Amino acid sequence: MTDPYAIQPSELDQLPDRDPEETAEWQASLDAVAKAAGPHRAAYLMRRTLERAEGNGIALPKLLETDYVNTIPTAAEPAAPGDEALERRITAWNRWNAAAMVTRGAKHGVGGHIATFASAAWLYETGFNHFFKGKEADGSGDQLYIQGHASPGIYARAFLDGRLTEAHLDNFRQEAGGTGLPSYPHPRRLPWLWEFPTVSMGLGPLSAIYQARFNRYLTARGIKDVSQSHVWAFLGDGEMDEPESTAALALASREGLDNLTFVINCNLQRLDGPVRANFKIVQELEAQFRGAGWNVVKSLWGNAWDELFQLDTTGALVRRLREVPDAQVQTYQTRDAAYIREDFFGKDPALVELAKLLSDDKILECFHLSRGGHESRKVYAAYKAALDHKGGPTVILAQTVKGHTLGEGFASKNANHQMKKLSTDEFKQMRDLLELPIKDSDFVDGVVPYGHPGADSPEVRYLQERRAALGGPAPARRTHAIAPLPSASEKAFASFDKGSGSQNVATTMAFVRLVKDLVRDKETGRRWVPIVPDEARTFGMESLFPSLGIYSPKGQTYEPVDRDQLMYYKEAKNGQILNEGITEAGSMADFIAASTSYATHGEAMIPFYIFYSMFGWQRTADQMWQLGDQLGRGFLVGATAGRTTLTGEGLQHADGHSPVIAATNPAALSYDPAFAYEVAAIVKDGIRRMYGETAQGEDPNVFYYLTVYNEPIPQPAKPSGLGIDEGIVKGLYRFNTAESAGLSPAANAARIQLLGSGTAIHWALKAQQLLAEDWGVAADVWSATTWTELRRDALEADAALLRGEERVPYVRQALHGAEGPVLAVSDYMRQVPDQIAQWVEQDYSSLGADGFGLSDTRDAARRYFGVDAESIVVAALAQLARRGEVKATAVKEARERYGL
């Protein structure tokens, strides 16, 4: 069978051979080696030759895999500073307390994970002792993305350090009382400790890449020099199967992010069993990262393996390590020396002879205990190599044993991720293995004790001295005392109050015009971070390209094809726009980094991320939840919004549900403005709340979601009168009455209240006219800028009532005394306006665009969903007929007249 990957003669012919005789000599030499010493020797020589070529800067395709051995040989390991004996004792205490915390919590049924930290302890401890910079270090210190399931180990270290007490540990996963610890890294729940939520697997690595990239952006734009900050992301090998984990690898290498290190804990296990049962995950990841341009450092084997490698004079051991699948390596961890002799060494005569030189104890030490990720010297060497590498990011592939030191009942067991506790006997075995001074009598009534060497012990003093030298505690989140940002020029907002006259302006364009003015503001303009996923021209933002520039670490190394045009495509090293290409996930990761810069770096930035509304919450709601957990601030803008507004695009572009998803996120303030002046008022208030002076009881740690439309319509002037701005922000105000609209209803005319949001208010206004002219019905039109915030206000009023406090929901206050029933309509499913139904005193009904979208004109789509002006008229008449306020026949007559 022909090898599909072999280079065919036709391919070789494309490269002229200037010296065929020399080529033939090289080929003959390779053939001779393969014949005399075997193909393994020939392959070895080829790999060494390619490595030498790469080291000499000769342009050749890189090897995607190396042998299944450590990248840094023992002889080349740098001397690790510090007191290794003390560090070993510190790590032992942390291992013990992490296991004790989860086991004690298991009595309350709250769960927890033990095995992950047990495998990764040295990966964290080595970093905390020698590498991870705290907040008092240069720049902003380092940013640590902690593997979520390892959180008990981080809590255990904070306990040893004096930052947590036994009471905290005893309330692990029990937060309702106010003194508990969240299950995983949750900044919203423990904002002084955690910076980055990571347990929704895949989001940590993606966010880490864009955080490192945003650090470069801040430095390049002169906001703050954070060039000394390093981003560390701790990940599981099973986690790397999440598409988000590897989605941005090329970005990191393309932009040379040598301020970024991934540390992948390769314990070869995921939640249910082996990560790559029949394959080798380390080799797969090495090829993936090398192919993406990353520097790869493998730390697989501990010092006990040195003797074996020295005895391997034929290369048989290295070959065998390459071919044994991961699940079998896991099996070796649980079997005796006889089994390993037969199954591992017995496959090759050379290995049989090698094994004769090894004692059973030596074999068990190597295969049960000695891994690169379990030895501080190996980990130190890998971390130092990562920091020394310049020009690109580094990934460290550290092999460990899941459940290490927890005993035979845990180590490498398929079920160990779900195992929540150790027995008393298992704890005593663990104590003896770790050599901890804990007595049998310390186990009272079967409860495992916490261990602490004392606040003035050598271990604690050493730990605190190391952290002081590195810039303070870590992980740590700081809420900096940042002065509120100055208010932007009132002129930028007030210009929308007068409307657009006869000019047709879509609210998407109104938002872009507002941003253009705001980024020119002398005080706050440079703090805006425009983010767009390769749709700037769709949203009319191309005029920002030459004025703000698109951020690129390389600047612009080419002459753009449109350089002779006014709005040419301009990239710059200090560019302000982040144009991410076609990646909503990457854009959201940008947004998260920028929106939390006020805490991470002490620099408040104002990001706005504009996207097709259909491709925001529907695609990246998990990241938006992450954003809320991380206490991010900024503006998400769902452009080309609505189910019927985006003409001709069809089902997958027709958004009729994003406000429903947004309503599930407590940190998201969701608005559906109808007019340009509403957009301006909401953005103005958002800047005040998130970056300025907050009112009593307001939480600044929110983000705004605005839906804006691409339908060009003349924008009206802001109505005069008291409370308009308050109504816009709170969610409801009366735009006009039948009388103020000049419709002159009869004194005894039936009346109805029409509530509309977003583009639907225009259908309501047309329906208002038809009701008056064709049916003698008076309609007042209200703009509902946010159904969700109206509902939340009402829910808070209900909660206050349970506390014995009298409070009337704003929606009830606004509609108090309004005559007739209420009919609400939006360009979204009826569930959106129905959020407020139970708090409206009047009879309430709604219209919406439920179902899948379709390709057609706007008018046809609105008729199809029954939300156009004529449909509103029929629904209004039906509502009034049920009340006996119009003739029942009017409904049928209207349907026939309008062709419904």
Among 674, 676, 672, residue whose Cα is nearest residue 497: 676
Tokens read off for 857 = 């004109």
* Residue 618 per-residue DSSP state: H
Rounded distance between C-alpha atoms, residue 591 and residue 587, angstroms: 6
- pLDDT value of position 251: 97
Say whether pLDDT at 14 is over 60.
Answer: no
pLDDT band at 504 (very low <50, low <70, confident <90, very high): very high
Mind listing the pLDDT tens digit for each residue in 15-24? 678 788 988 8
d(CA 315, CA 717): 82
Phi, psi of 607 (to 5 degrees): -80, 145
CA–CA distances in Å: residue 648 to residues 235, 399, 410, 644, 858: 43, 53, 58, 9, 8
Q: Give the model's confidence band at 7: pLDDT under 50 very low, under 70 low, under 90 confident, else very high.
A: very low
pLDDT at 15: 61
Assign 890 a pLDDT band (cuts: 50, 70, 90): very high
Judge whether residue 778 has pLDDT over 90.
yes
Is residue 877 within 8 Å of 779, Cβ to Cβ? no
- Count CB-CB contacts under 10 A for residue 15: 7
Return the closest-CA partner of residue 758 out of 639, 669, 861, 666: 639
Evaluate whether 781 touches 764 at the Cβ level (below 8 Å): yes
Strand-pairing partners, residue 299, are: 398
Distance between CA atoms of residues 99 and 105, nearest Å: 10
166: tokens are 């036994």
Rg, C-alpha atoms of the chain: 33
Q: 111 pLDDT band (50/70/90 cuts)? A: confident
Candidate from 15-19, 130-134, 673-677 with smallest mean pLDDT: 15-19
Predicted confidence (pLDDT) at residue 44 exceeds the cutoff of 60: yes
pLDDT (average), residues 633-647: 94
- Region of poorest pLDDT, from 37-51, 173-187, 700-714: 37-51
- pLDDT tens-place string over residues 78-99: 999 999 999 999 999 999 999 9
Q: What is the mean pLDDT of residues 500-521?
A: 93
Say if CB 715 and CB 499 are below 8 A apart. yes
| pLDDT for 412 beyond 80 | no
The full DSSP string for 751-817 is EEEEEE-TTHHHHHHHHHHHHHHHH--EEEEEEES-HHHHHHHHHHHHHHHHTT-----HHHHHHTT
Structure tokens at 898: 């309008």
Q: Contact 260/207 with Cβ under 8 angstroms?
A: no
Cross-strand pairs, 389: none
Q: Are 841 and 847 in contact (CB under 8 A)?
A: no
Quick one: average pLDDT of 752-762?
97
Q: Name every residue whose Cβ is closer than 8 Å to that of residue 95 and which is 6 or more positions away in sequence.
A: 117, 118, 121, 153, 156, 405, 430, 434
Q: Contact at 8 Å (CB) between 509 and 542?
A: no
pLDDT band at 353 (very low <50, low <70, confident <90, very high): very high
pLDDT digit string, tens, across residues 546-559: 999 999 999 999 99
Q: What is the pLDDT of residues 783-838, one digit of tens each?
A: 999 999 999 999 999 999 999 999 999 999 999 999 999 999 999 999 999 999 99
Percent of the chain exceeding pLDDT 90 equals 83
Report the chain's mean pLDDT, rounded to a whole number: 93
Rounded Cα distance, 393 and 130, in Å:
20
Question: Using an 8 Å Cβ cutoff, are 439 and 322 in contact?
Answer: no
Q: Which of 303, 466, 488, 289 is nearest to 377 (CA)?
A: 303
**Band (480; pLDDT cuts 50, 70, 90):** low
CA–CA separation, 610 and 530 (whole Å): 8
Residue (of 815, 835, 823, 837) closest to 866 by Cα position: 823
The mean pLDDT value for 440-456 works out to 94
What percent of the residues of the chain are helix, what percent strand, and what percent coil, each to the nearest 5? Answer: 45, 10, 45
Q: Which residues pair with 653 in a beta bridge?
A: none
What is the distance between the alpha carbons of residues 732 and 785, in angstroms, rounded to a whole number?
6
Beta strands 713-714 and 504-505, pairing class: antiparallel
pLDDT in tens, 714-730: 999 999 887 899 999 99
pLDDT at 9: 45
Q: What is the pLDDT of residues 485-494, one digit of tens each?
A: 888 788 889 9
Let me know: does 602 contact 480? Beta carbons within 8 Å: yes
Q: Out of 43-57, 88-102, 623-637, which region has the weakest mean confidence (pLDDT)? A: 43-57
Mean predicted confidence (pLDDT) in 318-330: 94
**Window from 43-52, 105-114, 180-189, 193-202 with minimum mean pLDDT:** 43-52
- Is the pLDDT score of 2 beyond 50? no
Residue 3: what pLDDT? 45
